[in-house]
Amino acid sequence: MREKVIEISNLKKSFGDLHVLRGVDMELYRGENLVVLGRSGTGKSVLIKIVVGLLYQDEGSCKVLGQEVEALPLKELNKLRLKIGFSFQNSALYDSMTVRENLEFPLTRNVKNLTKAERDKRVEDVLDGVGLLATINQMPSELSGGQRKRIGIARTLILNPEIMLYDEPTAGLDPITCVEINNLINQVNERYHTSSIIITHDLTCAKMTGDRVVILLDGIFSSQGTFEEVFRSEDPRIKSFYDYNFINT
Ligand SMILES: Nc1ncnc2c1ncn2[C@@H]1O[C@H](COP(=O)(O)OP(=O)(O)OP(=O)(O)O)[C@@H](O)[C@H]1O
């Protein structure tokens, strides 16, 4: 049986009268790409924050790599977080540092006793992994949006995470660069043996990257399956999501 790296059951989260998550069930299996689709404000970020222990659920269970996240003391939680790579929407590179320095930063903070040669090798390996070794001495301001996104992904990979979380990986990119990023997401899983959750409203991204797709609607996952299975649905909320995306892209 396939190993579950994330196991969420009956997860509920409200903010006052706003019931954002109303009983979410979800699994991420080792090695897969799981796409989480949903309109703005449906609770995708809240879900991810619960996965990394930045928010706590009101009810239900969220296990990551076999550990109940809300039960972990801070020290253990921090150890778990090192196994989860979080690729932010805006890449969040440090503008005053070169690409090399941006990549060294999480290493020097989190991995003790690395020699300079070992550090250099890790930096060069992940840059090669995202196809941007040639930019090693450049500043972020000299890179395109797509390149910055790649470097952001490389910086996440440098700590050898087991799980990757991509938050809107294609937001703000032109269609060709979107396709390149989608391909990179697939290559990352193959090369680094990661398991990934991809949060998006971009259906092309969902189609290209998702081994499985889930749609968050009204606080629960109302549909799960391959892209084709999910969008075969007659549910008008799913159909309108599909129509809107393809009319507007
Ligand atoms: N800490 C918080 N306190 C109060 N309300 C919150 C908090 N975090 C999120 N919310 C609310 O929960 C709802 C879901 O927010 P969330 O950020 O998860 O949406 P999302 O699906 O990620 O949207 P988007 O695609 O626009 O990023 C929103 O109405 C938001 O205002």
Q: How far apart are CA 246 and CA 249, in angstroms?
A: 5
| 3 state DSSP class of 52 | coil
> 161-174: b or e for each residue (b if 16 or more CB lie within 10 Å)?
bbbbbbbbbbeebe
| 3 state DSSP class of 159 | coil
Residue type, 11: L
Of residues 31, 24, 28, 36, the one with CA closest to residue 202: 36
Q: What pLDDT, on a 0 to 100 scale, did the predictor assign at position 63? A: 98
Q: What pLDDT, on a 0 to 100 scale, did the predictor assign at position 101? A: 96
Can you tell me which residue has the tokens 């797709």? 213
Residue 11's region, left for phi above 0, alpha for psi from -120 to 50, else beta, is beta
Q: How far apart are CA 70 and CA 143, in angstroms?
A: 39
Which protein residue has the closest C-alpha to ligand 1 atom 25? 40
Ligand 1 atom nearest 42 alpha carbon: 21
Ligand 1 atom nearest 216 alpha carbon: 21
Evaluate whether 119 touches 101 at the Cβ level (below 8 Å): no
Q: What pLDDT, on a 0 to 100 scale, did the predictor assign at position 159? A: 92
| 3 state DSSP class of 233 | coil
- The ipTM is 0.96
Evaluate whether 135 touches 151 at the Cβ level (below 8 Å): yes
Mutate to test the pocket of ligand 1, among 12, 15, 17 (most ligand atoms within 8 A of CB): 15
Using a 6 Å CB cutoff, which residues line ligand 1? 15, 18, 20, 38, 40-46
Q: Tens-digit pLDDT profile for the chain (249 aa)? A: 789 999 999 999 999 999 999 999 999 999 999 999 988 888 988 999 999 999 999 999 999 999 999 999 999 999 999 999 987 776 678 999 999 999 999 899 888 888 999 999 999 999 999 999 999 999 999 998 889 989 999 999 999 999 999 999 998 888 999 999 999 999 999 999 999 999 998 899 999 999 999 998 888 877 788 888 888 877 777 777 766 665 555
Q: How far apart are CA 149 and CA 171, in angstroms?
A: 10
Domain ranges of the chain: 4-83+163-247, 98-160
Q: How far apart are CA 223 and CA 14, in angstroms?
A: 22
Instruction: For residue 131, give both structure tokens.
Output: 């196809």
Task: Please give the DSSP secondary-structure letter assigned to residue 138.
Answer: -
CATH of domain 4-83+163-247: 3.40.50.300
Q: What pLDDT, on a 0 to 100 scale, did the predictor assign at position 201? A: 86
| 3 state DSSP class of 40 | coil
Q: What pLDDT, on a 0 to 100 scale, did the predictor assign at position 204? A: 92
Q: What pLDDT, on a 0 to 100 scale, did the predictor assign at position 102? A: 95
